[in-house]
Amino acid sequence: MLEALGLTADEERVFRVLVGGYRAAAGEVATRLGLTVAEAERVLGSLVAKRLVSRTGEHYVPAPPDVSLGPLLRHGQSELERARAAVTELAEQYRDSARRRDSSRLVEVVTGAEAIRQQALSLQRDAREEVLWFCREAPIAMPAADNDEEFRALARGVRFRVLYETALLEEPGAIAGLAEGIRLGERARTIAKLPVRLAVADRALALCPLADDEATGEPTAALVLGSSLVTALVALFESYWERASPLRIDGVPADAQLSPDERRLLSLLVGGVSDKSIAKHLGVSHRTVQRRLQDLMQRADAQSRMQLAWQVAKLGWLDG
């Protein structure tokens, strides 16, 4: 378990024995682990050299694990980040080289839900400026609620524009996860139906899930490298983005007439979310949602919900 920190399996076993008993002689350690005394002394000497254990007379005492292993953990994380950056650089060089050598390498096929999930995470992890996303209902590789990589990308300044199918917002936990993304800076809109699943990073790399592989039954996806095809996919995204309704679940109201809860309610209503899901997200009853909608209809001089949605757009209640 601690191999990533540079400990061998024997070193970890011996260290755990010392931590559990606080102090022990080489012979005691050997007896506990079925080693010879010479083997135990060799491992203990290695732990002393790594400053994980100190020797007092014939006894060995472990250093506090959080103190002794903490620097190794931080070093390991730093090494992992450097390795990840190196892999990203090599991958970019490989793709650039492949494109120059062979135009057929402009599209790579990724097979299997886990492989697609890893590619989607990598796409966000390596993004530097912007990620565009079509999120359809019934995800095939990664539910939106599990996409923590987006939050890390937002934190380092990557812009996210995400289009959600209305039906997706009805799925358990979807609105809560969406609200967290918006709070961190995601721009979100909703539309009744999207044509494909799609993610685009920096307008240079796109991931587009396809139909299941006929031979294996596994889902497949096309990884599209920088080309006119990526440009076409970006144009597709922009065309749907312009027609979609904005979602500002946790935003500050641009119009002082609206409370934050009213703004959230209207945003979800215009997005096509059902009264039941709106009530659950706001933590109120279904009847309260209906009453608040009636109040908003009166204030907007609307006779129906359709007129209310039209007035919301006309008055700019969700702009900003």
Please tell me the distance from the alpha carbon of residue 175 to that of residue 7, in angstroms, as a whole number.
43
- Band (202; pLDDT cuts 50, 70, 90): very high
CB of 210 closer than 8 Å to CB of 221 = yes
Alpha helices, H only, 63-129: 65-101, 113-126
Question: Looking at residue 301, what is its pLDDT?
Answer: 67
> For 248, which DSSP code?
-
For the segment 112-133, the average pLDDT, to the nearest whole number, is: 90
Write out the two tokens for 274.
Answer: 């059902």
CB of 237 closer than 8 Å to CB of 134 = yes
- Band (253; pLDDT cuts 50, 70, 90): very low
- pLDDT, one tens digit per residue, over 205-239 is 999 888 766 666 788 888 888 778 888 899 999 99
- pLDDT, one tens digit per residue, over 143-198 is 766 778 899 999 889 999 999 888 887 777 777 777 788 888 888 888 888 988 99
CB of 135 closer than 8 Å to CB of 144 = yes
Question: Looking at residue 91, what is its pLDDT?
Answer: 55
Q: Return the higher-pLDDT residue of 79 and 141.
A: 141
SS3 for 247?
strand
Alpha carbons within 13 angstroms on the beta-carbon side of residue 4 total 11
What type of residue is 181?
G
- Band (129; pLDDT cuts 50, 70, 90): very high
- pLDDT, one tens digit per residue, over 17-75 is 888 776 788 888 888 889 898 998 898 888 888 888 888 888 888 877 766 666 666 65
For the cut 60, the answer to whether the pLDDT of residue 88 exceeds it is no
